[in-house]
Amino acid sequence: MKKKINKYDIGLIASIIIISVFFILYGGRDAVISNSKTAYIFSNNQQVGEYVLTDDFKDVVNIETETGYNIMNIENGQIWIHEASCPDKICIQQGKISRNGEMIVCIPNRMFIKIVDDNDESEIDFIAD
Amino acid sequence: MNKTHRYIFLSLLTAAALILSIIEGMIPLPFIAPGAKLGLSNIVILSVVVIFGFKDALLVVIIRSILLMLVATNPITFIYSISSGIASTIVMSFSCKYLKHFFSLIGISVLGAMAHNTTQITVAAILFTTMNLYYYLPVLSLVSIFTGCFVGYTSIFVTDNLEKTLLKLGREA
């Protein structure tokens, strides 16, 4: 067993960094800010809410299941969770989301929020699921 | 090293892995990426893979996950921890066996961390029935490189000392 870091390790690490940065920059979500975004709220694989995010829409939503609750705020075209029953509070740490394709996931409560740009047709098949 | 010595060392290492998992649950890394963890118990798992081999490492991972569920977390977290633990153990022992002429423990640990992340996101994608979670994989991979290097570097010291201890034990017995 080799004891010190060698060129193969550095090669592996460098290639993973390059691939990850490539996917972060070019994969998945695009940064186009649009005025017709919809936030879909799913709980236990079922859609429980649908909110069109505009600058003047303001609401507080409480999603409660047998595993716990998530209270989310919608304001200024952004949506975020400000209180939750889950032990790790990772859903709160994920912060405010407002762009197409961004998600907030709460694994303990099996709840997630996803923003879909209404102009982007490539996301439609996700909703039909 | 006889059977009793082996079992005593494996149970001590399992206890160490369990305690490291519990401590790790108390210090998440919210400032880097939500959901990312240090993977401290991976230090123990990697050392067991190197010194005792694949079967014992699998045993340690499974017992660690079951005990962690009973002590600190819930059954849903158990599904994630056991599946990703088994996957990373398989990847690490495979690379320990066949790729050890290329990689040091740091590379093996990074590979194990990658397997851990990929499995965890796959399980989440199955439970949530959506493929969109994979967009988070590159972020987690970047973080896992740093934590993987840290874990690998620590494991080098741990395996060094553990090997010395076991040699000493073998001479005395």
pLDDT tens figures, B149-158: 999 999 999 9
Q: CB distance B100–A129 less than 8 Å?
A: no
Instruction: Summarize pLDDT for B41-98 with one digit per residue, the tens.
Output: 899 999 999 988 899 999 999 999 999 999 888 888 889 889 999 999 999 999 988 9
CA torsion sign for A80, A83, A85, A91 is positive
ipTM of the modeled complex: 0.74
Please tell me the class of the A37-128 domain: mainly beta
Beta carbons of A62 and A41 less than 8 angstroms apart:
no
pTM: 0.70
Beta carbons of B24 and A83 less than 8 angstroms apart:
no
Q: Where are the domains of chain B?
A: 3-172
Tokens 């912060």 belong to residue: A95
Whole-number Å distance between alpha carbons of B66 and B59:
11
Please tell me the class of the B3-172 domain: mainly alpha
pLDDT of residue A34: 47
Chain A 82-111, residues with CB within 8 Å of chain B CB atoms? 88, 90, 93-94, 101, 103, 105, 107-108, 110
Whole-number Å distance between alpha carbons of A99 and A32:
7
Confidence of residue B109 (pLDDT cuts 50, 70, 90): very high
pLDDT for A113 beyond 50: yes
Confidence of residue A115 (pLDDT cuts 50, 70, 90): confident
In this structure, of A9-13, A33-37, B13-17, B27-31, the range with the lowest mean pLDDT score is A33-37
Which phi and psi (to 5°) does residue A79 adopt?
-130, 135
Mutate to test the interface with A, among B79, B97, B103 (most CBs of A within 10 A): B103
Which phi and psi (to 5°) does residue B88 adopt?
-70, -30
Q: Where are the domains of chain A?
A: 37-128
Whole-number Å distance between alpha carbons of A117 and A34:
7
